[in-house]
Each structure stands twice: as structure tokens, then as C-alpha cells.
Amino acid sequence: MSSRLPPQPGERVARERELKFTFDGRPVQALAGDTIGSALYAAGQRTFSRSFKYHRRRGLMCCSGQCPNCLVAVDGEPGVRACTEPAREGAEVEHLNATPNLELDVMSAVDAFGGPFTPPGFYYKTFIRPRRLWPLYEKVLRHAAGLGRLPREQHERRWRTEYRRRHADVLVVGGGLAGLSAAAAAAEAGADVVLVDDGVEPGGRLLWEGGHERARELTVRAREAGVELLTGASALGHFDGLVAVWQGETLHQIRARQHVYATGAVEQPLVFAGNDLPGVMLSGGALRLAALYAVVPGRRAVVATTCDRGLETALALADTGVQLVAVTDLRQERSALGAALEERGVEVLQGWTVLAANGRREVRGVVLGRPDDEAARLERSCDLLLVSGGDAPATSLCAQAGASTVYDPVLGQFRLDVLPPAVRAAGQLAGFGEEDAAAASGERAGRAAASAIGLGQGELAPEQPPLDGRAGVCALPPAAATDGSRGRAFVCLCEDVTAKDIPRSVAEGYDSIELCKRYTTVTMGPCQGKMCQLASIRLMARETGSSIEQVGGTTARPPWASVPLGALAGRPFEPAKRSAIHGRHRELGARIQWAGDWRRAYDYGDPEGEALAVHESAGLIDVSTLGKLLVRGADAARFLDLLYPNRLSTLKPGRIRYGVLTSDAGRIFDDGTVGRLDQETFYVTTTSSGAGAVEQWFSWWLADWRLDVQLTDVTQALAAVNIAGPRAREILERLTDLDCSPEAFGYLDARQGSVASVPALLLRIGFVGELGYEVHYPAAYGEHVWDAILEAGAGQIRPFGLEPQRILRLQKQHILVGQDTDSESTPFGAAMPWAVKLDKEEPFIGKWALAHIAEHPAPTTLVGFTLPDGRVPTEGAVVLDAAGTAAGQVTSARHSRQLGRVIGMAWVPAALAKDGATVTILDEGSRIGASVVTEPFHDPAGELLRS
């Protein structure tokens, strides 16, 4: 007997196109258009996974990507739902959570024997003694927990999240009849509309309920009206008006002015013993298998329903040739659909429900009964049990948007109550379940959304939803479910929470639904409550003697649909900055490291040797990362006088001055040099990492003071190199037309000229403590000038990296802001009182705080230190005061080959901040005596700088 039905009108499979994939290594035949789940089911597979805790067999249930039963790994990626994952040629599908295989899972012993020992939180109750064994227990439990394994190593990420921001007039979530109608109507009124649907094509229920042609017509209408249709796209959550949508490898962040939710409803399972056996399926699941994939869901079916949905499905399946053994309808009144079934000779049991499903590997028979009559019992054999516990409106996304929900006793479900502004609901979510009513409600919502933003006709009066035939009853689990006498009855399939666990949770004091959720983890698994929230609320109500309204629901939280962590993890955008000379550093074999946002040459393999070359001959370093600002205008000098604590207006054109920037609290936040190019033009350099912050700081004060100043950030436009060392001058002279004699171009002079025929600004600055010239020039000539200098100095000059520069500057006790200072450091504490001119009349930034700090010195001061032995203390090591208490810390420490000893900088008690004082450094348990040096270690008089 074939497992495929004859061609179905709306089937998605292409029978002439076969493909093959493997399941646990075995080949599986599929048709194009199949899902992995439908192909496996057609091939006779009934067990798809083993459950989370008890390792019970689980099979297809919802066939809509909602329940956890068909989670598999595809090509190594765990947590994929087989029922919605398209079958692909050559895909390698593997089961999860069973050892050694799906058929023989050793951990299923937990199901057979573990019952009394595995209540909620059992691992905290059972595995606490002896306490010293907990690490071992934990290891075992961790191994047992979770579904699936990630590969330990992944050499290359197969995909990278694309982020897309989309602004729209109207966002419609849900592409069923109502959603498509809403999107088309809004777009026809002139709105820019995005429609999000999780199916492979829009249409929702229409696609498997015989309306596929209508769905396709509506899709064409929506497309022609200009709707952007996102299919295979799951709305994850509604965050502050922004809806996150995961589609393939793209995370859309959609912000719309109006939202229409048409998310439909989720068919609810029933709670009874054995309700998780393979072969127990939601009625809609079986219908989808038959209608979309032409797969025979079973031969002999029993249907247990609480509403018309199950009866509709029963009729539809009867048409495909499934034999209906019996139909139970928990409602007392026979509906028209029930009568229609009876006319076809089906046994319809009104007021009955299912008490238990029996079978070892899959369902073989059922026990039916009446909740109100203990004696009423019927047994039927079958290979398929279809259940329908009513359609729960999918309110979660709306609730995240701010809607309130209310329990509707007629529907037996929670439905939407009050909607927030600019949010509308349509279709079954809003109570319009019948086809034409759903379409009309969508049209109305779409037009209303458009008219709310001034498009189309005026606001339309909302219509009250009719209480349609889908009204159901509250399907309380039968008592047998909670006493466990007929076997386990599951409330939550994801986390294996049984109906017994809810009363147990209440008995232990977790008697509110929110507490019960956290204790039992009901609603917290992969289905996110879609299958279990209602049942857990019903059980909680019965157990606590409250009404369902009193129990209420748990807070709706994202994600509404499963999403790989990789979609959300990491920074969306992490650019690396590279200087214009970067390629040369790589060619020279530099070790490249991160320095803030920059990729920088850390060294070229020999940091101490590179530093030595600067002292003995010459070195060349790429300092393009420095922040560079042009400050121009009539008020430029006044502006800088207001920003810096020292005076810059007295700077003569062609001269440079060091400046430290503080906040209005007097705390250092950056430093650099200021060169005056002419009366109204200043060239400001900042630290590499502070460039952005300084530009922001300058422009902020400029916006507030509104001075006649133009600020231009030329950080990226200019490359810069520092050529330093005793032979720097002679090398530079070979490349420039400038007079480089000490008389014509002295220390702290700024000159404009050409270097290697490139126009450049040259700054004679001594950050590294030797005769040096910073050459700033257009970035386009980055490598040209670098090459020219190395060529002109061949045999005399050596490139040096960031690390040797740090040794060199430490020898001079030049601070690195952020390394030697923190957010509390002041110029006084950092031993730079000369950088503050408190007698300046201008109310400069930090003036009043610095005046206060000058009178109230901080308890610690930044000083240099040396160590007799060769050990380099850890940066961050503690400095102790006389009493042995922590009083400061080491901020920088290096070995200097030039000086032949270890040097560093540290914050020490102010009383010890004098030459020759001894401070104690506590470094990784050992105490080291260090000698304080307040002057630069190298060239303290600065003669080399000025040479």
C-alpha cells in the first residue's frame, strides 16, 4: 500500500522530481517540495526524536514547526524542525537526544524507572548529598541535559547574519487570508506595506483547507499593490515598536507606523495518558500532511475534539480515504458537522473524550470515556489519534506590543482585549475564524491602518467578531491524567512536564502560574508555550480552586519563533580601521594587533631591538591612527583656550604646545599636541583611541558656545609617520626642501613643506624621547612616503611598532591616557601641574574643579619607578603604603635594553612621590621594593629632543 495519497488539489510536492537525503545514515526518498518530516513519515518513520527528560519516543504532531517533537540535526546544525525544513538533495539528517540510536535509547530507562525520582527540579533534590560529589553529578547531568550537540570546533562560519533595517507605513504579521487581505488593502490605499509570513508561500490555512487558489490570487493582488512579501520569515518579537524578523540568514528590524497582526491561532493538544505517543497528532498536523504533501497520515483514525475544528478535519480526512473509527466531541450539543459525520456512518460520541492512548512504539488503540461518568468506557484500536483542544488565538506578539488579553469562557481560550495605539488584529486572532469573515476583517484592518496615516478613506468602524462555530469548551484534562494511573500525561512536551507535576508544584508552594512556570519549566521549551500554556493554566486553576481568569497567563516574551543564537550573537558590525600604510607592515612581517578600533603593527619581531635602533640611529613608526582635527576661524584661539586648561592663544604661528583635555570635573580624558599653522588655524592631534570622543567633545562645546570656528576631522584623510632618532634629521633632509637645521626648525616647531614630493605638515615632537619629526601627509600617499623614508635611510633606519614605542615613551615618563590614567585622574595627580594655568581668566573646561583639586591634593600621585632585579611587575599590581595597605597600582612596566633595567609608572601615596623613596609592589603574592624616580629615565634634561 502506498504511503502517498493520489494527487491532492493543493499539494506542494512535485511527483516527477525525486531527491534523496539520509536519516542517521540511511537513504530516504523524497519528492521535491517535501519537508524532511513529510518524506520521513511517507517512508514509514514514526519516531522522530527522544524527549528531553524521559527519552520517550516522539513523532510528528503539529506539522507546522511549533511543537518540539520532530527536532533533528541537519548537516550538523541541531534544533531544526523536520516538519517545516525543506528536504534537500544530499542533506544529512540525524536524530537528537538518543544513545546509541533512536530505537534503542539507554536513557529511556528514566521513563521506565525514574518516575518517583524525577519530579521538577529533581537534580537539586536528589543530587545534593554528599556535597563534595556535586561537581561529578553536575558533569553527568550536564551531559544528559539539552538536546543535540554543537560541533566543538567550527573552522568557518557557514553564514553570517545580514542585518536589515526596514521602515514601512504598515507591517502585517501573518500571511493567511486576513493578513494578505490587510496587506493588499493597505497597499492599494497607497501605503508602503511589508508582510511577514513563516510559510514557504503566503496563504496560511487556505493552503491546506482547499483555498490554495484563493491564496495565490490574493498573493498576486498583494504583490501588484506593491506589498513587500517576506516568506519563510518568522516574527520573533515586538520591541518598542520594532519587530525583529528572522528570514534565512537575514535579521530584519522592521519599524512601521501601523501594525496589523494576523497571526491566527494555535491548535491545542489535549492532556491524557500517553498523549505523546507517536501517532497522536494535532488534527491540523494530519491535515497538512495529507493536503500539502499527499502523505497518508494513518489508516484507522480516532478523532478527539472539543470544538468544530477537529470535526472539520475529520471530514476532510475522510475524503482522502482515512477510515474514521470514532469521533469524540467533548461538547454536549451535536453540531452540524457532527451530524454530517454521523451521516457518513462515523461513530460520533458527544460529551466523550480520550482518556488514554495505548501502544509501545506508536499508538495502537485508545480508551475513551466521559468526564462526568466514571463507568463509561470504550476501547478502540487505531493507528492514528487526532486531537484538537481548540484554537488558541496566537496573541503573544500582540501582547508584546502592549495588548491585553482576557479569558473568553465561550471560546474556552484567552483572546485579545484592549489593543495599543497603531496596532490592529485581524482574522482568527481577532475572532474572525470563518473564511469570508477573516477576509473582511483583514480588509478592514488594512484600510484602517492606511487611513490612520492619512491614506485612503476615513477610519472604519471595527466590527464585533461573531462567536463562530469554532467556539469550544474548556477541555480540562481527565482526572486519570493527573493521578498517573494510566501512564504519563504530558502538559509540556518540550520539557517533559507531566500533568502530575503541576499539582506537585502547587503542593510545594509554587502556586502562582509565574512561579509554577519557573519551577517546572512548563512553557519554557522550544514551543515557547504554544502547546502548553493553556493546559498548564487550566490545571493550575483546578488545583488551586481558582477560575482561569484568576490564574491568568504568563507574560508574553520573545522569541515567538525559534531562532538560532548565531542570528543574534556578536556585534552586527565591527569594522577594523587600517592605516594607509597597513599593507607595508604586513609585508615587513609585523605582528598586527587590535588597538581600539585599529589594526596596528605591534612590533616587527624584536621590540627591544627596535627601541634601541631609535636611540642609536633612527626608527620609523606609523602614527596615522592619531586623531587629527583642524580648528579654524576667527574664534579658534579663544575656543581652544576654553577647552584646554593651558593657554593656546599665545602660541605663535609655527609653534606647538602639549595640551591635556579634562572634563568639567577636572578629570583627564585625552591629551595631544596643538600646533598653530597661522593666526586662525590650529592643528590638533589626539590619542588614537580618543579621536572620536575628542571630535564629539569639541563639536558639542562649539554647538553650545556657537563661536566662529570650523572644525574638520582629518583623521582619516591624513597619514602620519614619526621619524625619530639621532639620524632622523639627515634622513629627512634627503627628502625635503625644508631647512631642517636646529635653528630653522627647532623643537616644537611646525613646518609645512614637501616630503618625497608630497605636501606635508611636519611637527617636531619628541614622544619617544629622541630627535623626531612627525610627518602628516595625504593618506593617498601613505605607502609612498613610508617607502621613500625607508629608502633614503637604508642601513640607518628601522621600522618600529607600537610596543617599542611604549618602551620609549615610558623611558620619558610620557603618560598614555587610559593606560596610566583612569577616569579619576587629574593633571595634578598625574604630575602635570604645568599643563594647567589656573590664572587664565577664561572659564575653561575644568577650571573650577581644577582650582579645587589644586587646594585638595589627591592621596596618590603618578610617578616613575625602577626595579633592581629583572622582574617586570604585572601592570595592575598593587602598590602598598607604609601600613601595608593597598594604596595605588602599577600602570606601566617594561624592561628597557637602553637603560639596562626595569622601569615603570605607578600611582603611589603622595608622601612617597619623591626621588629615591621606596615603595612596595605586591605582585602575584610577592613583595618587590621599587625606587621612585620623578624625572624621565632617559635624557631628563631633554637635550636630545632639542638637538
Partner 1 sequence: MSFLLECPHCGIREVADFAFGGEVCKRPQDPSFRELCEYNYIRENVAGVQREWWYHRSGCRTWFLAERDTRTNEVLRIGLPGELT
Among positions 154, 550, 650, 696, the unique one binding partner 1 when judged by CB under 8 A: 696
Q: Which is nearer to partner 1, 240 or 924 (CB)?
A: 240
Using the contact rule CB under 8 A, the part of the chain among 297-305, 540-548, 591-599, 696-704 near partner 1 is 696-704
Question: CB 139 → partner 1: shortest distance, Å?
Answer: 40
In the region spanning residues 187 to 246, those forming contacts with partner 1, defined by CB under 8 A, are 239-242
Per-residue contact flags (x/-) with partner 1 for residues 850 to 869, judged by CB under 8 A: --x-----------------
Q: Which is nearer to partner 1, 276 or 695 (CB)?
A: 695
Residue 327 and residue 344 in contact, taking contact as beta carbons nearer than 8 Å:
no
Dihedral of alpha carbons 22, 26, 30, 33, sign? negative
Pair type for strands 497-498 and 490-492: antiparallel
DSSP conformation letters of 825-859:
--TTTTT-GGG--TT--S--TTHHHHHHHHHS--S
Q: Which residue has 580648528 as its cell numbers?
A: 631
453-456, long-range: CB < 8 A, 24+ apart: 453/169, 453/170, 453/191, 453/257, 453/258, 455/169, 455/186, 455/189, 455/190, 455/191, 456/188, 456/189, 456/190, 456/191
DSSP states of 316-331: HHHHHT-EEEEEEESS
For the CB of residue 239, give the shortest distance to partner 1 in the complex, in Å. Answer: 6
d(CA 938, CA 335) in angstroms, rounded, equals 98
Q: Which stretch binds partner 1 (CB under 8 A): 114-122, 596-604, 846-854, 882-890?
A: 846-854
- Options 113, 117, 159, 700; binder of partner 1; rule CB under 8 A: 700
Q: What are the C-alpha distances in Å from 39 to residues 95, 493, 909?
A: 15, 23, 76
Minimum CB distance to partner 1 smaller for 733 or for 842: 842
* Per-residue binder mask for partner 1 (CB under 8 A), 250-289, x = binder: -----x----------------------------------
156-195 footprint of partner 1 as x/- string (CB under 8 A): ---------x-x----------------------------
Q: Which of 101, 112, 115, 111 is nearest to 54 (CA)?
A: 111
Output the smallest distance, CB 596 to partner 1, in A. 16
Q: Provide, rounded to whole angstroms, the least separation between the CB of residue 683 and partner 1.
A: 19
CA distances from 717 to 621, 626, 688, 761, 787 (A): 18, 11, 14, 13, 19
Choose between 417 and 664: whose C-beta lies nearer to partner 1: 664
Q: Does 129 bind partner 1 (CB under 8 A)?
A: no
Verify binding: residue 822, partner 1, rule CB under 8 A: no
Question: In the complex with partner 1, which residue's Cβ is closer, 490 or 560?
Answer: 560
User: Coil, strand or helix: which one is 173?
Assistant: strand
Of 604-643, binders to partner 1 (CB under 8 A) are none
Q: Do residues 70 and 49 touch, judged by C-beta distance below 8 A?
A: yes
3 state DSSP class of 686: strand
Closest CB to partner 1 among 243 and 307?
243
Q: How far is the CB of 642 from partner 1 (least distance, A)?
A: 11
Residue 848 lies near partner 1 (rule: CB under 8 A): yes
CB atoms within 10 A of CB 485: 10
Is 664 an interacting residue with respect to partner 1 (CB under 8 A)?
A: yes
* Stretch of 280-288, 320-328, 675-683, 844-852 lying at the interface with partner 1 (CB under 8 A): 844-852
| Member of 32, 665, 854, 917 binding partner 1 (CB under 8 A) | 665
Q: Is 345 left (phi over 0), alpha (psi -120 to 50) or beta?
A: left
By C-beta, is 699 or 796 nearer to partner 1? 699
Q: Residues 141, 849, 858, 922: which binds partner 1 (CB under 8 A)?
A: 849
> Which of these ranges, 391-399, 548-556, 663-671, 829-837, lies near partner 1 under the rule CB under 8 A?
663-671
What is the enclosing helix (H) or strand (E) of 373? strand 373-381
Least distance between partner 1 and beta carbon 664 (Å): 6
Q: How far apart are CA 765 and CA 910, in angstroms?
A: 30
The CA–CA distances, whole Å, from 412 to 270, 306, 512 equal 13, 10, 20
Please state, in angstroms and rounded to a whole number, the distance separating the CA atoms of residues 330 and 336: 15
Smallest distance from the beta carbon of 240 to partner 1, in angstroms?
4
Q: Residue 806 corresponds to which cell in the numbers above?
A: 611604549
Least distance (Å) between residue 209 CB and partner 1: 38
Nearer to partner 1, 254 or 740 (CB): 254
CB of 706 to partner 1, least distance (A): 6
Q: How far is the CB of 445 from partner 1 (least distance, A)?
A: 23
Question: Which stretches of 592-688 are DSSP H helices?
Answer: 607-616, 636-643
Least Å from the CB of residue 525 to partner 1? 28
Q: Torsions phi, psi of 112, nearest 5?
A: -75, -40
Min separation Cβ 687 and partner 1, Å: 18
Taking the complex as a whole, how short is the minimal distance between the CB of residue 609 and partner 1, in angstroms? 41
Per the DSSP assignment, residues forming a β-bridge with 632 are 681, 710
User: Among residues 255 and 364, whose Cβ is nearest to partner 1?
Assistant: 255
| Interface with partner 1, residue 704, by CB under 8 A | yes
Does 708 engage in binding with partner 1 (CB under 8 A)? no
Q: What single-letter amino acid sits at 46? A: R
Contact between 695 and partner 1 by CB under 8 A: the answer reads: yes
Measured distance CA(120)–CA(429) in Å, rounded: 33
Q: Which residues 6+ apart lie within 8 Å of 363 measured at CB?
A: 274, 277, 278, 279, 280, 357, 382, 383, 384, 385
Q: How many residues interact with partner 1 (rule CB under 8 A)?
A: 24
Stated length of the chain: 947
The smaller minimum CB distance to partner 1, of residues 505 and 662, is found at 662
Q: Which of 9, 25, 843, 900 binds partner 1 (CB under 8 A)?
A: 843
Interface with partner 1 includes 4 (CB under 8 A)?
Answer: no
Regarding 841 and contact with partner 1 (CB under 8 A), the answer is no
Closest CB to partner 1 among residues 420, 462: 420
Task: Report the residue from 593, 699, 866, 934 that binds partner 1 according to the rule CB under 8 A.
Answer: 699
Q: How far is the CB of 848 from partner 1 (least distance, A)?
A: 5
**φ/ψ of residue 377, rounded to 5:** -140, 135
Nearer to partner 1, 239 or 594 (CB): 239
Q: In the chain, what is the greatest distance between 2 CA atoms, to the nearest angstrom?
A: 115
- 77-81/57-58 β-pairing: unpaired
- Residue for cell digits 491564496? 215
- Residues with Cβ < 8 Å from 706, sequence gap 6 or more? none
Nearer to partner 1, 855 or 943 (CB): 855
Q: Which is nearer to partner 1, 257 or 364 (CB)?
A: 257
The residue (of 374 and 664) whose beta carbon lies closer to partner 1 is 664
* 3-state SS assignment for residue 422: coil
What are the angstrom distances between the C-alpha of 219 and each of 9, 175, 223, 526?
18, 9, 6, 30
Residue 450 CB, shortest distance to partner 1, in Å, is 20
Please report how close the Cβ of residue 696 comes to partner 1 at its closest, in angstroms. 6
Burial of 943 (0-12, 13-18, 19+ CB in 10 A): exposed
Question: Which stretches of the chain bind partner 1, using CB under 8 A?
Answer: 165, 167, 239-242, 255, 663-665, 692, 695-696, 699-700, 702-704, 706, 713, 843, 848-849, 852
